[in-house]
């Protein structure tokens, strides 16, 4: 058995504490998220007033340009995607417990708001782009996993219930080219997975992992496999993959922790075209990074940032670099990039003292 309690801290982050067999685990949505538009690195972040800010930096340049997405409420855990023509952002509105959404075209500073769903939502959303629709998932305050989609060029949001029950924390969503895929954790700490083929309405459920209390799963697509990362009750960083058109989930341990104090949390995952890449926090709040080349089983570890204590990181691939962002203990929004085929992490401060 486990217990889960949530509260809002002064930075408007919903912090959930899960306790199982004596281990205390903190789970919180990332305060920022990073993405790539094809020519710009873009970051969205919640400042200390709960307002959503946005930064962009053109490839090969140094300045970061800032815009305000929303400053009329207290928001949490923004999620971001690129549709090919617009940047889209979704977040939880703490004042109304609703899911909000904004979009803006590149080169235009105006953000257009929409309400995805009103009332009774308790976790931050996760968002992806399918090539023809924006898709969003979140958990309502009854523990049900909900899903919304909006076709390109339209304004209506269509809602579906993916799964009912005692789900918690933030689900993660991705697109495989033929199906929407979602992962989440049930009331027993098991990792679940759902998929829905394009043009259909049925959600198919699978169990990815049982037997240990998992938290914070993140999902991605490699072009041939669905990949998931999460941490377990002992602070181990775990990884699963399932090849396309198969039913078997294969598990690997990326990094070993222990209940004695060495543990990993807040993992995030991406695909570079040749490697799976993962970033996570260690027990000192430092950002660690792992990569595994396609067709191999070895995980290679690197330290990204060890000079401060950081919030949950976000990771993306630009086509020639891995990029990571996070907010440190002092409220500075930081960014790192590593060019393909190199081992050096290049740091930048995007904004100082934002939280």
Which residue do the tokens 């085929």 mark? 341
Residue 20 placed within a domain: no
Contact 52, 46 (CB under 8 A): yes
What pLDDT, on the 0 to 100 scale, is given for residue 258? 67
* 62 three-class SS: coil
**Is 38 within the bounds of a domain?**
yes
Average pLDDT of the segment spanning 100-128? 92
The stretch 218-238 carries a mean pLDDT of 97
Q: Which of 165, 163, 121, 127 is nearest to 6 (CA)?
A: 121
Segment 130-158, tens digit of pLDDT = 999 999 999 999 999 999 999 999 999 99
Q: In this predicted structure, what is the pLDDT of residue 4? A: 35
pLDDT in the model for residue 19: 41
In a domain, 5, yes or no: no
DSSP string, 242-295: EETT----EEEEEE---TTS---EEEEEEE-SSEEEEEEE-TTS-EEEEEEETT
At residue 5, the pLDDT reads 39
What's the mean pLDDT in 157-165?
96
The model's confidence at residue 24, banded by pLDDT at 50, 70 and 90, is very low
Cα angle 60, 63, 64; round to 5:
110
pLDDT one-digit tens code per residue, 298-343: 999 999 999 999 999 999 999 999 999 999 999 999 999 999 999 9
Q: For the purposes of burial, counting CB atoms within 10 Å of the CB of 198, is it exposed (0-12), middle (13-18) or buried (19 or more)?
A: middle
What value does the mean pLDDT take over residues 20-28? 40
Confidence of residue 2 (pLDDT cuts 50, 70, 90): very low
What does the pLDDT read at residue 18? 43
Kindly report, residue by residue over 36-75, the tens digit of the pLDDT.
999 999 999 999 889 999 999 998 888 999 999 999 889 9
Distance, in Å, from the CA atom of 306 to the CA atom of 168, rounded to the nearest integer, reads: 30
Q: Give the span between the Cα atoms of 325 and 349, in whole angstroms.
A: 10
Q: How many C-alpha atoms does 152 have within 13 Å on its Cβ side?
A: 12
CA distance 101 to 81: 11
CB atoms within 10 A of CB 227: 22
What totals of helices (H) and strands (E) does the chain contain, helices first?
0, 31
Q: What is the pLDDT of residue 202?
A: 97
Q: How far apart are CA 280 and CA 276, in angstroms?
A: 14
| Residue 68 located in a structural domain | yes
Give every CB contact of residue 85 below 8 A, 6+ residues apart in sequence. Answer: 105, 106
Q: Across all residues in the chain, what is the average pLDDT? A: 90
Q: What is the CATH number of the domain that holds 134?
A: 2.130.10.120
Residue 24 lies in a domain: no
> Considering only CA atoms, which of 233, 306, 318, 309 is closest in space to residue 277?
318
Q: Which domain holds residue 170?
A: 29-351
Q: Is the whole-model pTM more than 0.85?
A: yes
For residues 310 and 326, is the Cβ–Cβ distance under 8 A? Answer: yes
Tokens of 92: 């939880």
- For residue 157 the two structure tokens come to 């949001």
Which residues have CB under 8 Å from 345's CB, separation 6+? 289, 302, 304, 305, 336, 337, 338
Tokens of 227: 């990949």
Domain membership of residue 311 (yes or no) is yes
How many percent of the chain have pLDDT more than 70? Answer: 90
Q: Judge whether residue 15 has pLDDT over 70.
A: no
User: What's the confidence (pLDDT) of residue 261?
Assistant: 65
Q: Return the half-sphere exposure (C-beta side, CA atoms, 13 A cut-off) of residue 71.
A: 6
Question: Would you say residue 28 has pLDDT above 80?
Answer: no
3-state helix vs strand vs coil in the chain, percent to 5: 0, 60, 40
Considering the domain boundaries, does residue 100 fall inside one? Answer: yes
- Number of domains comprising the chain: 1
Q: How confident is the model at residue 260 (pLDDT cuts 50, 70, 90)?
A: low
Residue 189 included in any domain: yes
Q: How confident is the model at residue 108 (pLDDT cuts 50, 70, 90)?
A: confident
Indicate if the pLDDT at residue 14 is higher than 50: no
What pLDDT band is residue 99 in, cutting at 50, 70 and 90? very high
CA distances from 24 to 16, 78, 315, 350 (A): 10, 25, 26, 32
Of 5-9, 26-30, 112-116, where does mean pLDDT reach its minimum?
5-9
Across 4-8, 246-250, 312-316, 337-341, least confident range: 4-8
């Amino acid at each position: 058995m486990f217990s889960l309690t949530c509260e809002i801290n002064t930075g408007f982050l919903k912090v959930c504490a899960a306790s199982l067999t004596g281990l205390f685990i903190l789970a919180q949505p990332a305060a920022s998220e990073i993405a790539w538009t094809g020519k710009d690195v873009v970051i969205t972040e919640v400042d200390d007033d709960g307002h959503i800010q946005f930064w962009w930096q053109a490839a090969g340049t140094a300045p970061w340009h800032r815009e305000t997405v929303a400053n009329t409420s207290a928001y949490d855990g923004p999620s971001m995607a690129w549709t090919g023509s617009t940047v889209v952002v979704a977040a939880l509105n703490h004042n109304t417990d609703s899911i909000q959404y904004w979009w803006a075209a590149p080169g235009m500073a105006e953000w257009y708001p929409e309400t995805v769903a009103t009332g009774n939502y308790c976790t931050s959303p996760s968002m992806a782009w399918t090539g023809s629709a924006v898709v969003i998932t979140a958990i309502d305050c009854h523990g049900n996993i909900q899903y919304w989609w909006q076709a390109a060029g339209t304004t209506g949001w269509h809602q579906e219930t993916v799964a009912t029950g005692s789900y918690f924390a933030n689900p993660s969503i991705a697109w495989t080219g033929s199906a929407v895929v979602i992962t989440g954790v049930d009331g027993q700490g098991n990792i679940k997975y759902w998929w829905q083929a394009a043009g259909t309405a049925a959600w198919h459920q699978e169990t990815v992992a049982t037997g240990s209390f998992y938290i914070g799963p993140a999902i991605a697509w490699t072009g041939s496999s669905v990949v998931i990362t999460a941490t377990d009750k002992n602070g181990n960083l775990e990884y699963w993959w399932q090849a396309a058109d198969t039913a078997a989930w294969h598990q690997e341990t990326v990094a070993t922790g222990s209940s004695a104090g060495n543990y990993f949390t807040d993992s995030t995952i991406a695909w570079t075209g040749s490697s799976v890449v993962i970033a996570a926090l260690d027990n000192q709040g430092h950002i660690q990074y792992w990569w595994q080349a396609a067709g191999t089983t070895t995980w290679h570890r690197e330290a990204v940032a060890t000079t401060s204590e950081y919030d949950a990181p976000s990771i993306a691939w630009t086509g020639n670099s891995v990029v990571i962002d996070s907010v440190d203990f002092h409220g500075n929004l930081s960014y790192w990039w590593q060019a393909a085929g190199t081992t050096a992490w290049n740091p930048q401060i995007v904004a100082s003292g934002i939280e």
